[in-house]
C-alpha cells in the first residue's frame, strides 16, 4: 500500500515518465499532469501529499501554480523543478512557499531524500497541529466544571478577561484548585489562541537559570552559552506566558519582571539590544502574596501590577455542591481514556466524597477517580474503592462513642475544639504525625492540612 500520494507536474513526457517510475519504486503513489491548470484541478479535487512542480509550464508559471495551490491548502508540500541553477530562482521558490527545489537534470537519489524530508516535516507539522487543536479543545470553558456561585463568579471574570487584552492576570488559590486549567482557558478562548501558550514553574529553577529561561541569552554570556538562545518571553510573543508559583520568585528577578511588564521590552542575558514583545502574563500562586509583601518576600509594586485583575479560585471544600459534578466529569473522561464503562458512584460513596475536606482540592479528586477506574472492576465506584482517609471518617462515626458535651451559655468554638483535639492527639503520639492522624481517623495529608490551618505547621 502506497505511503503518500505525489503529483508530478512537468510538460516533458520523459521527465514525467522517469519520475513516476522512480517514485513508484520508492513506494509512493504517483499521478502525472503536463500543465498548470490540470495541476491546480488535481490538487484541489484529490488527496495529494506532495507536488513536484516544474517552474516553467506551457500555460501558466509554476510559481503562479504554487501560489494558487497554497491558497487552498497551505500545508501541502511543494518541491519546485527548475533548469535554472541561479540562486535567485531558488530563493524566489522558497519565498513563494516551496519546501525546496531541485535542478534539472534531476538526481533521483537527491530527490528521494528531499521528498522524504519534506513529507516527514509535513507529518510532524500535522501531528503538532492535531495536538494543538486537542489541547485547545481540552482548554475550553466547558471543561471547567462548577455550578456553585463561587465558580459562576470565576466564569464571569475569566470570560471577560479572555475577551479583553489585559496584559496581566493574577490567579490565586490553593494547590490543586485548577489555576493551570483557568490560565489555558483564558488563552485558548482569547484572540491570542493561535499563538503560543508558554509556561514555567518559578519554583522549579534556581534564580540564575530562571532568568536565562525567561529572557534567553547571547552566545558567550556565561561559560556554557555556546550559542544564543531565545527565552520564554520571545517564544511567547503574541501569546501568553504562564508564570506558575510566582510567589517563589526571588526579589531580584521580580524587579526585572516588573521592568519587562512596564516597558514591554527586555535584553537577553549578556545582550545589548532591546527586544520588543507583546505578551499576556498570567501569574499564579498558592501563597498569600499580600502577606509575602508585608514580610518583604515579594515586591509591593509587582504585586499591585499583577493584581490589576485578580482571580481567586475557591478550594473544593467551599463548593461541595460541585463535587458530584466533578466526579461525573472525571468518570466520563477516564471512561473514554481507559475504554471503561463505569456508570457512576454509589450513594454512600458520593456522600463520603462530599463530606471529605479535600486538602488536595480538585487534583486530589481527579486522582482518586482515575485510580478507582483503573483498579476496580465493578460497574460503579463503591465506598470501599475510596482511599482509607475518606472511608475512615464513616468508620469513625459508626465506632465513636457518644461523648456528652456541656455547652456553656456563650457557646463553644468548633475551630477551637478542633485545635485542642489536634494538639491532644499530637501530644499523645509525641508529635508523630502518622500516629496522631490515626488517633483522629485522618490521613496524614488531611492532618497536615488541619495543622497548617491552625498554625501548627509552616
Answer yes or no: is pLDDT of 395 > 50: no
What pLDDT was estimated at residue 101?
A: 86
Maximum Cα–Cα distance for the chain, whole Å?
106
DSSP 343-367: -EE-HHHHHHHHHS--TTHHHHHHH
pLDDT at 126: 65
Residue 220 · residue 277 · CB < 8 Å: no
For the ranges 133-147, 212-226, 263-277, 335-349, the lowest mean pLDDT is seen at: 133-147
The predicted model gives 378-397 an average pLDDT of 79
- What confidence tens digit (pLDDT) does each residue in 265-286 have? 999 988 889 999 999 999 999 9
What class, spelled out in words, does domain 5-133 have in CATH?
A: alpha beta
What's the pLDDT tens digit per position in 211-239? 899 999 998 888 888 888 899 999 999 99
Highest mean pLDDT of the ranges 65-69, 122-126, 241-245: 241-245
- Cα–Cα dist 111/25, whole Å: 13
Task: For residues 392 and 443, give the distance between their C-alpha atoms in angstroms, rounded to a whole number.
Answer: 8
Lowest average pLDDT, out of 122-126, 276-280, 292-296, goes to 122-126
For 362-379, what is the mean pLDDT?
Answer: 93
Mean pLDDT, the chain, integer: 86
Q: Which CATH number fits domain 414-453: 3.40.50, 3.40.190, 1.10.10, 1.10.3470?
A: 1.10.10
User: Is 335 within 8 Å of 342 (Cβ atoms)?
Assistant: yes
Buried b (16+ CB within 10 A) or exposed e, 150-162: ebeebeebbeebb
Its pTM stands at: 0.63
- What single DSSP character describes residue 177? S
Q: How many angstroms separate the CA atoms of 86 and 15, rounded?
A: 21
Mean pLDDT of 31-57: 88
Instruction: Tell me if residue 4 falls in helix, strand or coil.
Output: coil
Query: What percent of the chain stands above pLDDT 90?
Result: 46
pLDDT for position 136: 53
Q: Write down the pLDDT at residue 393.
A: 58
Contact present, 220 and 270 (Cβ < 8 Å):
yes
Question: DSSP string spanning 17-76?
Answer: HHHHHHHHHTT-EEEEESSHHHHHHHHHHS--SEEEEES--SSS-HHHHHHHHHHH-TTS
Q: How far apart (Å, rounded) are the C-alpha atoms in residues 369 and 138?
A: 18
**pLDDT > 70? residue 137:** no
**Does residue 415 register a pLDDT over 80?**
no
Is there a shared CATH topology between the 5-133 domain and the 139-314 domain?
Answer: yes
Q: What percent of the chain has pLDDT over 70?
A: 90
Please report the pLDDT score of residue 133 as a whole number. 59
Residue 325 has pLDDT above 90, yes or no: yes
Q: Is 114 a residue whose pLDDT tops 70?
A: yes
Give the lowest-confidence range in 127-131, 183-187, 362-366, 421-425. Answer: 127-131
* Cα separations in angstroms, 52 against 15, 97, 114: 11, 13, 11
Q: What's the confidence (pLDDT) of residue 170?
A: 97
Contact 39, 51 (CB under 8 A): yes
Nearest to 242 by CA among 316, 146, 306, 318: 306
- CATH dotted code for 139-314: 3.40.50.300
Q: Give the model's pLDDT for residue 404.
A: 58
The CA distance from 233 to 238, in Å, is 10
Poorest-pLDDT segment among 16-25, 30-39, 223-232, 362-371: 223-232
The pLDDT of residue 397 is above 50: no
- In this prediction, residue 138 carries a pLDDT of 56
Give dist(CA 12, CA 20) in Å, integer.
12
- Residue 1's pLDDT band (cuts 50, 70, 90): very low
Protein fold of 317-399: Helicase, Ruva Protein; domain 3 (1.10.8)
- Range name among 10-24, 144-158, 444-458 with the lowest pLDDT average: 444-458
Binning pLDDT at 50, 70 and 90, where does residue 396 land?
very low
Q: What is the pLDDT of residues 417-443, one digit of tens each?
A: 778 888 888 888 888 888 888 787 766
pLDDT the model gives residue 139: 47
What are the CA-CA distances from residue 262 to residues 167, 208, 258, 311 (Å)? 10, 22, 6, 21
Question: 85, 67, 84: which is closest to 76 by C-alpha?
Answer: 67
Sorted by where each begins, the domain ranges of the chain are: 5-133, 139-314, 317-399, 414-453
CA 90 to chain centre: 39
CA-to-CA separations, 13 to 30, 33, 42, 61, 349, in angstroms, rounded: 14, 10, 18, 18, 74
Amino acid at each position: 500500500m502506497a505511503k503518500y500520494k505525489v503529483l508530478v507536474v512537468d510538460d516533458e513526457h520523459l521527465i514525467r515518465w522517469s519520475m513516476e517510475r522512480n517514485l513508484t519504486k520508492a513506494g509512493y503513489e504517483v499521478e502525472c499532469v503536463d500543465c498548470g491548470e490540470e495541476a491546480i484541478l488535481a490538487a484541489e479535487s484529490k488527496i495529494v501529499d506532495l507536488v513536484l512542480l516544474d517552474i516553467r509550464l506551457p500555460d501558466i508559471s509554476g510559481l503562479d501554480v504554487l501560489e494558487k495551490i497554497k491558497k487552498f491548502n497551505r500545508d501541502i508540500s511543494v518541491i519546485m523543478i527548475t533548469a535554472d541553477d541561479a540562486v535567485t530562482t531558488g530563493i524566489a521558490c522558497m519565498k513563494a512557499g516551496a519546501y525546496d527545489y531541485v535542478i534539472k537534470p534531476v538526481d533521483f537519489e537527491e530527490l528521494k531524500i528531499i521528498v522524504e524530508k519534506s513529507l516527514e516535516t509535513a507529518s510532524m507539522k500535522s501531528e503538532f497541529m492535531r495536538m494543538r487543536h486537542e489541547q485547545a479543545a481540552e482548554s475550553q470553558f466547558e471543561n471547567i466544571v462548577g455550578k456553585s456561585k463561587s465558580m459562576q463568579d470565576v466564569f464571569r471574570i475569566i470570560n471577560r478577561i479572555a475577551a479583553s487584552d489585559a496584559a496581566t492576570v493574577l490567579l490565586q488559590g490553593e494547590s490543586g484548585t485548577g489555576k493551570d486549567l483557568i490560565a489555558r482557558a483564558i488563552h485558548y478562548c482569547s484572540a491570542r489562541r493561535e499563538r503560543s501558550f508558554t509556561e514555567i514553574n518559578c519554583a522549579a529553577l534556581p534564580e540564575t537559570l530562571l532568568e536565562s529561561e525567561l529572557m534567553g541569552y547571547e552566545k558567550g554570556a556565561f561559560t556554557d552559552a555556546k550559542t544564543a538562545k531565545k527565552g520564554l518571553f520571545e517564544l511567547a510573543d503574541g501569546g501568553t506566558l504562564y508564570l506558575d508559583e510566582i510567589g517563589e520568585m526571588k526579589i531580584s528577578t521580580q524587579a526585572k519582571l516588573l521592568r519587562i511588564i512596564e516597558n514591554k521590552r527586555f535584553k537577553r542575558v549578556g545582550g545589548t539590544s532591546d527586544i520588543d514583545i507583546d505578551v499576556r502574563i498570567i501569574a499564579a500562586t498558592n501563597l498569600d502574596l499580600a502577606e509575602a509583601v508585608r514580610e518583604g518576600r515579594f515586591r509591593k509594586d509587582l504585586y499591585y501590577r499583577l493584581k490589576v485583575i485578580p482571580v481567586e479560585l475557591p478550594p473544593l471544600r467551599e463548593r461541595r455542591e460541585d463535587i458530584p459534578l466533578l466526579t461525573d466529569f472525571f468518570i466520563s473522561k477516564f471512561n473514554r481514556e481507559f475504554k471503561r464503562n463505569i456508570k457512576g458512584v454509589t450513594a454512600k460513596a458520593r456522600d463520603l466524597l462530599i463530606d471529605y475536606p479535600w486538602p488536595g482540592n480538585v487534583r486530589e479528586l481527579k486522582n482518586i477517580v482515575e485510580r478507582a477506574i483503573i483498579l476496580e472492576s465493578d460497574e460503579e465506584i463503591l465506598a470501599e474503592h475510596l482511599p482509607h482517609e475518606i472511608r475512615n471518617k464513616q468508620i469513625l462515626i459508626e465506632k465513636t462513642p457518644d461523648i456528652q458535651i456541656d455547652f456553656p451559655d456563650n457557646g463553644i468554638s468548633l475551630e477551637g475544639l478542633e485545635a485542642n483535639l489536634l494538639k491532644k492527639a499530637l501530644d499523645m503520639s509525641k508529635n508523630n504525625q502518622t500516629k496522631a492522624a490515626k488517633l483522629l481517623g485522618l490521613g496524614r495529608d488531611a492532618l497536615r492540612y488541619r495543622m497548617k490551618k491552625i498554625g501548627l505547621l509552616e
